[in-house]
A and B are shown apart, each in its own frame.
Chain A
Amino acid sequence: MDSEGTIASHPEIEADSCKGCGRCVEACPRKCLEISHALNNAGIRSVAYKGEGCVGCGICFYNCPEPYAIKVVKA
């Protein structure tokens, strides 16, 4: 959220759906995704948002082979 209280664009990641292939990390034009150190339910290192930089373009969503691993909220 910014100073005016509006929600900034960001990806919402469902860690347990992620298989850690890294396609979104590579595709993100703002390089704001990374493979995290946390293991998900299946024991896979899932992707995580770095916390800033997202412009809500949705490129990570379309590069992801999983339907529910990433959704993008565009401000």
Chain B
Amino acid sequence: MKTIEQKGMYREFPRCGKPHARTTHYCPGCGHGIVNKLVAEACAELGLQDRTIFVDPVGCGVFTYYYWDAAHISAAHGRASAAATGVARARPGAVTIAYQGDGDLGAIGFNNAFQAASRGERFGCIFINNSLYGMTGGQMAPTTLEGETTTTTPYGRDPALTGHPLHVCEVFNQLQAPFYIARVSVADTKRIMQAKAAIRKVFELQRDGKGYAMLEILAPCPTNFRMDAQKAARFCIDEMEREFPLGVFRDRSAQAGGEESAAAPAQGSALAVRPVPRFNSCAELFSASAGAQAADGAPERGAGMARLSKELRFKFAGYGGQGILSLGLCVAEAARLENLHTLWFPSYGPEQRGGSASCSVVVSPQRIGAPSVEHPDVLVCMNQPSYERFAADVKPGGLVIVDETVPVAKEPPEGVRLRRVPAIAMAEEFGVPKAANTMMLAALKVCKATGLADASLEEALCASFKKKPQLIEKNREIFHRAAKALENRNA
């Protein structure tokens, strides 16, 4: 009997900070995850974990030090090849591997990588090409395909304006020094197996002290392609491979190594940096209400229809993709419509889906001080980890609304009401599984938890679909149906 399982990674990833310490920070269906597994496996199977130094610059791959059980250095954005040069020269016996993305290597760090390849530095460069900037929210990268839609090329990449896709392997293939240049993909099983062999080769070349190796890996980014995992993989095969054909451009692994390398030891240096997470959809959500906010001649705040007499603090929590941030934004928008002061403050990990997400909302007739909400009056939880994390902090007299799928192992503190709402089940029953957050908004209305007028909540809900007008009526309808269903349950 044989077991096929992960090798070369830590058993748990506590630094990742997930409730379940054995998951990565990558989005569902991410190509990085597949490559991470192959790299760790190759490193372990070749027995190189104690000799390997990974250099991780900024990008979605920045946190590989959570996972790979080997030495790591974090490099500044785009500087992995420069830092790896230092490492490889200072530690000639080490297996040095730079792990870069296409924003990192193809744009800001292109010259670093190109010159390192030209000098034939003794390290291997694993280059993930997903045709856009993933971590920062899907902006155009040099590798973006012609016509491909990204957040910064909303009408598709126009070569007349932003140039043609950069073929890194083909460019590097003009250089004398590299030992190995290849492009593989992780879109399907056959390609994954080819990638596995190629990654192994990169390690072997470094183990034997040969010289520079460049391995480009086409990887799907379902989140920023705005596709599910299957369609994203198809996009890699059907679209990306047309622009970036797979293959081995050069393989001189049989040749003796070292002679073309500049081997003079130099001071290795690397600055540890932390990435700045960005969240694309927030910007979009903000822009939905920006027009209204810009109207500075608006009536004085606190006037008009505001009924709220005291400040209310909310916390919304769940996992990314449940619409937690939009739910909070709806409440903030409803308060804005009533000319109240309001603040919306999101909190999320570097991944755009699947991680834990929460947001704080403060609604007040007066000016608001601190934006963070440590002790909410109202807490809305869409999954178990968020209930466990925040329920104990709710103020006495407060309210906790949790989805019925969340097991309530521990009651909330004394004096705090608990309402369990079948938001996820109801959304599915209505045939709109993504609208669980709208159900929660209906629950807030039914519980009279916001101190805001029902009409404001409804108007805010419609405003949140400003960019998808076809969804407005549908959501308005299910909002009403949900409120009615919840009221009937109460009765």
Contact = CB atoms under 8 A, between A and B. Distances in A.
A44 B20 CA distance: 12
Contact of A61 (B4, B19, B230, B354): B4
A61 to B, nearest CB: 5
Interface of A: 7, 14, 16-17, 19-23, 26-27, 39, 41-44, 56, 58-59, 61-69, 71-75
B1 A75 contact: yes
Which 7 residue pairs of A and B lie closest in terms of their CB atoms, listed nearest first? A65-B33, A21-B29, A43-B383, A21-B28, A71-B5, A58-B4, A19-B28
B36 interface: yes
Interface in B382-429: 382-385, 403, 405-406, 424
B19 A41 contact: yes
Contacts of A64: 33-34, 37
B489 interface: no
A67 B36 contact: yes
A65 B38 CA distance: 10
A71 B23 contact: no
Contacts of B27: 19
A68 B26 CA distance: 13
27 contacts: A19-B29, A19-B354, A23-B29, A23-B229, A26-B230, A26-B233, A43-B322, A44-B319, A56-B4, A58-B4, A61-B4, A62-B38, A62-B193, A63-B34, A63-B188, A63-B189, A64-B37, A65-B28, A65-B29, A65-B34, A65-B36, A67-B22, A67-B36, A67-B40, A67-B67, A73-B4, A74-B1
Interface string B1-39: 111111001000000000110111011111111101110
B34 A71 contact: no
B318 interface: yes
B210 interface: no
B6 A71 contact: yes
Contact of A67 (B2, B9, B230): B9
A22 B384 contact: no
Contacts of B37: 62, 64-65, 67
Nearest to A19: B28
Instruction: Give the most central of A16, A19, A39: most B CB within 10 Å.
Output: A19
A63 B32 CA distance: 11
Given A39-B405, A73-B3, A16 B196 contact: no
Nearest to A39: B405
A21 B9 CA distance: 21
B228 interface: yes
Nearest to A43: B383
Contacts, number: 123
Contacts of B384: 41-43
Nearest to A40: B20
Interface string B423-448: 01000000000000000000000000
Interface residues of B, number: 49
B192 interface: yes
Given A43-B382, A61-B5, A62-B37, A22 B319 contact: no
B106 interface: no
A74 B4 contact: yes
A17 B22 contact: yes
B350 interface: no
A26 to B, nearest CB: 5
Given A17-B22, A65-B37, 9 more contacts: A17-B23, A22-B228, A22-B229, A41-B385, A42-B20, A65-B34, A66-B33, A71-B6, A74-B4
A65 B188 contact: no
Contacts of A42: 19-20, 23, 319, 354, 356, 383-385
A69 B20 CA distance: 11
A63 B30 CA distance: 10
Given A42-B319, A62-B192, A74-B4, A21 B222 contact: yes
B4 A65 contact: no
Nearest to B219: A65
Given A23-B229, A23-B233, A41-B385, A68 B22 contact: yes
B28 A20 contact: yes
Nearest to A73: B3
A63 B38 CA distance: 10
B176 to A, nearest CB: 35
Contact of B3 (A67, A69, A71): A71
B366 to A, nearest CB: 36
Contact of B23 (A23, A27, A66): A66
Contacts of A21: 28-29, 222, 228-229
Nearest to B229: A21
A72 to B, nearest CB: 4
Contacts of B22: 14, 16-17, 67-68
Contact of A59 (B31, B189, B228, B406): B189
A65 B32 contact: yes
A38 B32 CA distance: 26
Instruction: Give the most central of A14, A41, A64: most B CB within 10 Å.
Output: A41
